[in-house]
Amino acid sequence: MSLKLFDLTGRTALVTGSGQGIGYAIAQGLGRAGARVILNGRDGAKLAAAAEQLGADGIAVATAVFDVTDRPAVQATVGRIEREVGPIDVLVNNAGIQRRGTLEDYAAETWSEIMRANVDSVFFVGQAVARSMIGRGHGKIINIASLQAQAARYSIAPYTASKGAVLNLTRGMCTDWARHGLQVNAIGPGYFRTPLNQALVEDPAFNEWLTKRTPAGRWGEVEELQGAAIFLASRASDFVNGQILYVDGGVLATL
């Protein structure tokens, strides 16, 4: 009986930025738990390849090509998904970027770019999906934050600021929408092997620092985020709201 709490059969999940990396892994995990998944990104060919892989795994999958920073496109596409595919039961706001640079020289246009991709997108897609969820009286929203929502590191201050905003936007969404039957939570990944982190993965000095800094002594593998996502997307988390679940190998637990 308890395992049924994690069963996502019959649910539809939209995962933004899911052509590769963390988004793809989360979509795969939700699909294997029974959900029909909708992949999102701006590259139609990449999404088609990702959808083919998931389909070969027996997962019901569709794609939605749109820019999460384009509010009219977000609203139009979410409306089309609701009409043509079905109600969105689960939203995972995963899309985001990283732009490293010294803070004193950081360009204003790059600051705006990272805020649009990492913060505005969460608001735009979250708002568009929540409106229909509110009408139905239920829904799950999972925002992908970061351990950098709580800790900074040299050269990523704007990214840290953006993920701190995602953390508090998650709390705000909970405060406004929990009364309508929505659960809004976040996952805070630590250091995972992804295309976004490829430069760090290839840096021997950083690898040495990371393995010593992380109690688990290693990088995370993206599949290790699937359990947290399934939990927050399922009935098992129906009274969990406004929380951030860190999946970081223990980095934030120790100095």
* Residues carrying an active site annotation: 159
Instruction: Give the CA count within 13 Å in the CB-facing half-sphere of 26.
Output: 33
Q: Which amino acid is at 221?
A: E
Q: Estimate the crossing angle of helix 108-115 against helix 157-177, to 10 degrees.
A: 30
Q: Which token pair is 234? A: 């399922």
How many helices (H) and strands (E) the chain has is answered by 9, 7
DSSP state of 116: I
Q: For the residues of 37-93, what is the DSSP string, one character each?
A: EEEEES-HHHHHHHHHHHHHTT--EEEEE--TT-HHHHHHHHHHHHHHT----EEEE
Q: Work out the widest C-alpha separation in the chain, in whole angstroms.
A: 56
